[in-house]
A and B are shown apart, each in its own frame.
Chain A
Amino acid sequence: MNPRDPGQDPAIQTAGLIKKYRLADRPALTGLDLTIGRGEFFGLLGPNGAGKTTILSILCGLRAPDGGTVRILGMEYRRQQRRIQERIGIVPQEIALYDQLTARENLIIFGRLLGLGGGRLKERTGYCLEIAQLHERADHRVASFSGGMKRRLNLVIGLLNAPSILFLDEPTVGIDTQSRHLIHRQLQGLHAQGTTLLYTTHYMEEAQELCSTIAILDEGRILRQGPPARLLQESACHSLEELFLGLTGKQIRDI
Chain B
Amino acid sequence: MQKILSTTAKELLLLVRDRAGLLVLFIMPAILVIVITLVQENILALSGQRQTEVLLLDQDGGVFASTLLSSLRQMKISVHSPEQGEDLQRLIADGRYQAGIIIPAGVSRRLQQEMASRLAAGDHAIDGTPDTASLSILFDPGAMAGFRAGILSRLQMAARAAEIEMLAQELGHSLQARLGRLNPGAPSPLQADDSLKQTFSHSFTTITEQPTTTGTATISDIINPVNQNVPAWALFGMFFTAIPIAGTILAERRSGIAVRLAGIPVSPLQLLGGKITAYLCVCLCQFLLIVLIGIVLFPHLGLQAFTLPENPMVLLPLICACSLAACGFGTFLGSVCHSYEQASTLGSTMVVIAAALGGVMVPVYAMPQMMQRLSILSPLNWGVNAFLDLLVRGKDFLAIGHDLARLLTFFAVMVILSWKRSSR
Contacts and interface: CB of A to CB of B under 8 A. Distances in A.
A86 B256 contact: no
Contacts of A61: 262-263
A194 interface: no
A121 to B, nearest CB: 10
A101 B263 contact: no
A110 interface: yes
Contact of A117 (B2, B9, B264): B2
Given A93-B256, A97-B255, A112-B3, A62 B18 contact: no
Nearest to A160: B264
Given A92-B256, A94-B259, A96-B260, A115 B14 contact: no
B350 interface: no
Nearest to A85: B265
B335 interface: no
A113 B13 contact: no
Contacts of A82: 265
A253 B95 CA distance: 69
B10 A90 contact: no
Interface of A is mostly: loop
A90 B14 contact: no
A33 interface: no
B261 interface: yes
A60 interface: yes
Contact of B10 (A86, A98, A115, A158): A98
B17 interface: yes
Contacts of A157: 260
B264 A113 contact: yes
Contacts, number: 76
B264 A105 contact: no
A89 B114 CA distance: 102
Contacts of A161: 264
Contacts of B223: none
B249 to A, nearest CB: 13
Contact of A92 (B14, B17, B260): B260
A114 B2 contact: no
A109 interface: yes
Interface in B257-310: 257, 259-266
Interface in B187-233: none
Nearest to B259: A92
Given A92-B260, A101-B13, A109-B6, A114 B265 contact: yes
B263 A60 contact: yes
Given A98-B14, A100-B18, A109-B6, A115 B265 contact: yes
Contacts of A90: 259-260, 263-264
Contacts of A62: 259, 262-263
Interface residues of B, number: 22
Nearest to A91: B260
A96 B261 CA distance: 9
A205 B255 CA distance: 28
A28 interface: no
Contact of A101 (B10, B256, B259): B10
A60 B260 CA distance: 10
Contacts of B266: 113-114
A187 interface: no
A109 B259 CA distance: 15
Contacts of B2: 112, 115, 117
Contacts of B262: 60-62
A75 interface: no
Nearest to A113: B266
Contacts of B71: none
A179 B301 CA distance: 60
A113 B257 contact: no
A96 B6 contact: no
A95 interface: yes
Contacts of A36: none
A40 to B, nearest CB: 20
Given A98-B14, A100-B17, A109-B6, A86 B265 contact: yes
Interface string A11-51: 00000000000000000000000000000000000000000
B7 interface: yes
Contacts of A92: 256, 259-260
A88 interface: yes
A4 to B, nearest CB: 24
Given A101-B10, A105-B13, A112-B3, A85 B264 contact: yes
Nearest to A100: B17
A52 to B, nearest CB: 14
Nearest to B6: A112
Choose among A57, A97, A113 the residue with the greatest number of B CB atoms under 10 Å from its CB.
A113
**4 nearest CB pairs, A to B:** A94-B256, A96-B256, A112-B6, A92-B256
Interface of B: 2-3, 6-7, 9-10, 13-14, 17-18, 254-257, 259-266
Given A92-B260, A113-B266, A161-B264, 10 more contacts: A62-B262, A94-B256, A94-B259, A96-B260, A97-B255, A98-B257, A100-B13, A109-B9, A112-B2, A112-B3
21 contacts: A61-B262, A61-B263, A85-B265, A86-B265, A90-B259, A90-B260, A90-B264, A94-B256, A96-B257, A97-B257, A100-B13, A101-B10, A101-B13, A101-B14, A101-B17, A109-B10, A110-B264, A114-B265, A115-B2, A157-B260, A161-B264
